[in-house]
Structure 1
Amino acid sequence: MARSIDYRSTSEHPADEVYATMVDPDYLQARLETLGGPGARLEEHTADVHGARYRLRHGLDPEDLPPAVQKVLTGELVIERSESWTRTGEGHYDGQVTVRIPGTPASAAGWMRLADLNGSEAGASEFVVHADVTVKVPLIGGKIETTVAESVTRLLASETAFTLDYLR
């Protein structure tokens, strides 16, 4: 059974500005250098005002994982993360994300939305992510899914803080 991740953040910047930053290769490289772990890099990248597609490589030190997870996910861990974005209207972008950890039974997939907020918060935007984490390991898969989901939520919060700082 998959574990769901629901993440939401707001920014005082309009969605078009946040989008332009989030898909900029220099920004992505800087974010990976800060938060991507060992061997992190931008593998592929295309972007314009209408949409973007990129693939990121994150590295994980197994010693940073809980002992129960270390037993299943051994050796150097690489996370392959693919994201695609489409501009669906003024100040509105929809995205898809997939995550693979080669050599493991763990994966994640979901959707993203970046949109201007209406009303009194004109100029502000909201970023929303929903993803399902799946770990196909009998008996302890659910525990690992919970751990991975919590780690992904922390990573999203760190990436959001990095983005907001980068926008200043």
Structure 2
Amino acid sequence: MSRRIEFTANYSLPAEVVHRTLTAPAFWNDRVAKGADSGVTLTRLESGPGTIDVAVNQVVDTSALPSIVTKLIKGDLAILRSENWSPVAGGSAAGSFAVDTTGIPVTVRGTYTLTDVDGGSTLTGAGEVDVNVKLIGGTIEGMVVDQVRKIFETDQEAVEEWAAANA
């Protein structure tokens, strides 16, 4: 069984600026450099005019995870996060995201829509979280949904800061 995830991020910037940031290789290189001490690495970065296909890997320190999760982990726990964005057209852009893990069978798949609104833009995302573990998978899915939402909140802050510093 999977669990639905939905989120919204409201930006003070137009969709074109948010999109330009999210498709800038320098933005992703900076994000990875800031997380390098936490085991973050860039595993894929392909970009073209208004597009990007990027994947970031992070080995997770499992000591802070709930025991219900750590008991299930086999080997190292690593998270591979990927994003794809298409060009802006008519004030909006579409993208997709995915999260896969090693050590525990978690997958997250979804789509983004970035649109202009008065005074800025809105990024909406929707997808599915699936934890393939009998009996307690649903409990872990709820934890994953919470963590994915926190990642998107952090992304929003990073986009706003990077865009302001690199305008």
TM-score when normalising by structure 1: 0.88
Q: Number of aligned pairs? A: 164
Is the CA contact 2:7–2:126 (under 8 Å) kept in the aligned structure 1? yes
Q: Unpaired segments of 5 or more residues in structure 2?
A: none
Which residue number in structure 1 is paired with residue 6 of structure 2? 6
**Inter-partner Cα distance in structure 2 for 1:134 and 1:83:** 18
Q: How big is the shift at 1:152?
A: 0.9
- The one-letter code sitting in structure 1 at the alignment partner of 2:66 is P
* Residue 140 of structure 1 pairs with residue 136 of structure 2: yes
**Residues 58-85 of structure 1: per-residue CA shift (max 9 Å, x gap):** 2211112112111112543111122111
Which residue number in structure 2 is paired with residue 53 of structure 1? 53
Alignment of 1:17-166 (within 5 A): 17-34=17-34, 38-87=38-87, 89-117=89-117, 121-122=118-119, 124-166=120-162
**Inter-partner Cα distance in structure 1 for 2:116 and 2:16:** 8
**Residues 30-83 of structure 1: per-residue CA shift (max 9 Å, x gap):** 223445773212211122333221111122111121121111125431111221
**Inter-partner Cα distance in structure 2 for 1:78 and 1:128:** 26
Is the CA contact 1:36–1:59 (under 8 Å) kept in the aligned structure 2? no
**Inter-partner Cα distance in structure 1 for 2:18 and 2:113:** 12
- The one-letter code sitting in structure 2 at the alignment partner of 1:92 is S
Percent identical residues: 26
Change (3 A) 1:41 1:14: same
Q: How big is the shift at 1:125?
A: 0.8
Change (3 A) 1:132 1:139: same
Query: What secondary structure does 2:159 align onto?
Result: helix
**Inter-partner Cα distance in structure 1 for 2:36 and 2:128:** 21
**Inter-partner Cα distance in structure 1 for 2:129 and 2:16:** 29
Q: Unpaired segments of 5 or more residues in structure 1?
A: none
Query: What secondary structure does 1:147 align onto?
Result: helix
Query: What secondary structure does 2:71 align onto?
Result: helix
- The one-letter code sitting in structure 1 at the alignment partner of 2:47 is A
**Inter-partner Cα distance in structure 2 for 1:157 and 1:35:** 16
Is the CA contact 1:62–1:75 (under 8 Å) kept in the aligned structure 2? no
RMSD in angstroms over aligned alpha carbons?
1.8
Change (3 A) 1:99 1:20: same
